[in-house]
């Protein structure tokens, strides 16, 4: 399974919407895809409408070794080719549990190895923080022999976005050095922006494009299709298959599948 994590410690930048729509585009392109709701807020589970895990069998318990059943029992089918590893009400205890655990940064990576033969692609929706949850997600998406994937960073067209990006890249540098791994930064995805907001937005977009490294690999504008698809608990490739937004995600999926 090639694993991609969608992360940015900034809140509300489009991590969850992009995770769902990217994964659904991969599924439409014929890839068996797993969506992982790794943000304790559980927005991905809510937005897909799949049921949360029952209290006696959860992602948090599996990651912390408190439940040792077959991890496949946690999966929920969402769409053809597309499965969700959903949240549960104990996810708020995840960070605390991880901090107390040995080999904590590798816990999610090791759990997801159980699905290596079942899926072509995994997409992890990371929490809005630079804490242990994000580190676990980054480690799961580290470079592995024969596997593709890496990190996608949705960015807002806001003045504070460049600083947020620098912080995230610095964290990745430190984590890679400490853990002796390589994390492939596939690129940035300016998201939820409206060019009608004028020069401030276009100026920041230009600044992102000019950075070059990481590259801008897609631009996902603010669209009512995306918001309505979310409310209808459908991916946009299904809700509005002929829309420009569906095409953006299909194009992004192709970039990520080749990363």
Ligand X SMILES: Nc1ncnc2c1ncn2[C@@H]1O[C@H](COP(=O)(O)OP(=O)(O)OP(=O)(O)O)[C@@H](O)[C@H]1O
CA distance 2 to 120: 6
Sheet holding 149-155, edge to edge: 76-79, 82-85, 33-37, 121-125, 2-6, 149-155, 185-193, 220-221
Binding partner of 214, given ligand X, Mg ion, none, CB within 5-8 angstroms per partner class:
none
Chain positions contacting ligand X, by CB under 6 A: 11-17, 39, 41, 43, 128, 191-192, 220, 222-223, 226-227, 230
* Window 8-37: contact mask with Mg ion (x via CB under 5 A): -------xx---------------------
Question: Is the Cβ of residue 14 or residue 71 nearer to ligand X in the bound state?
Answer: 14
For residues 252 and 235, the answer to whether their CB atoms sit within 8 Å is no
For residues 237 and 246, the answer to whether their CB atoms sit within 8 Å is yes
Binding partner of 191, given Mg ion, ligand X, none, CB within 5-8 angstroms per partner class:
ligand X
Strand runs (DSSP E) across the chain, as ranges?
Answer: 2-6, 33-37, 76-79, 82-85, 121-125, 149-155, 185-193, 220-221
Question: Is the Cβ of residue 106 or residue 132 nearer to ligand X in the bound state?
Answer: 132
CA distance 95 to 114: 22
Closest contact distance (angstroms) between CB of 110 and ligand X is 24
Binding partner of 30, given Mg ion, ligand X, none, CB within 5-8 angstroms per partner class:
none
Question: Is the Cβ of residue 150 or residue 235 nearer to ligand X in the bound state?
Answer: 235
* Window 207-236: contact mask with Mg ion (x via CB under 5 A): ------------------------------
Report residue 2 CA to chain centroid gap.
13
Closest contact distance (angstroms) between CB of 33 and Mg ion is 18
Instruction: Based on the shown chain and the rule CB under 5 A, indicate whether residue 43 belongs to the binding site for Mg ion.
Output: yes
Binding partner of 14, given ligand X, Mg ion, none, CB within 5-8 angstroms per partner class:
ligand X
Closest contact distance (angstroms) between CB of 159 and ligand X is 18
Burial (Cβ within 10 Å: 0-12, 13-18, ≥19) of residue 145: exposed
Binding partner of 227, given ligand X, Mg ion, none, CB within 5-8 angstroms per partner class:
ligand X
Q: Which two tokens stand for residue 9?
A: 């410690």
Q: How many Cβ atoms from other residues are within 10 Å of residue 54's Cβ?
A: 10
**Would you tell me which residues interact with Mg ion (CB under 5 A)?**
15-16, 43
């Amino acid at each position: 399974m090639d694993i991609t994590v969608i992360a940015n410690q900034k809140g509300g930048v489009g991590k969850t919407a992009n995770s769902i729509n990217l994964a659904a585009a991969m599924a439409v392109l014929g890839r068996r895809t797993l969506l992982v709701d790794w943000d304790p807020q559980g927005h991905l589970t809510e937005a897909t409408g799949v049921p949360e895990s029952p209290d006696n069998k959860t992602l948090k318990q599996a990651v912390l070794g408190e439940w040792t059943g077959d991890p496949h029992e946690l999966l929920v089918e969402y769409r053809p080719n597309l499965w969700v590893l959903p949240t549960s009400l104990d996810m708020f205890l995840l960070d605390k549990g991880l901090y107390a655990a040995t080999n904590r940064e590798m816990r999610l990576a090791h759990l997801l190895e159980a699905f290596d033969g079942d899926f072509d692609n995994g997409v992890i929706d990371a929490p809005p923080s630079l804490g242990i949850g994000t580190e676990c997600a980054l480690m799961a998406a580290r470079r592995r022999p024969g596997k593709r994937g890496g990190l996608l960073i949705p960015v807002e067209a806001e003045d504070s976005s460049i600083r947020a990006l620098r912080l995230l890249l610095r964290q990745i540098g430190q984590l890679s050095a400490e853990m002796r791994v390589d994390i492939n930064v596939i690129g940035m995805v300016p998201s939820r922006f409206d060019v009608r907001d004028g020069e401030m937005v276009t100026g920041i977009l230009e600044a992102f494009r000019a950075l070059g490294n990481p590259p801008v690999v897609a631009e996902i504008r603010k669209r009512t299709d995306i918001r309505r698809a979310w409310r209808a608990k459908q991916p946009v490739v299904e809700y509005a298959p002929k829309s420009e937004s569906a095409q953006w995600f299909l194009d992004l999926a192709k970039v990520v599948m080749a990363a």
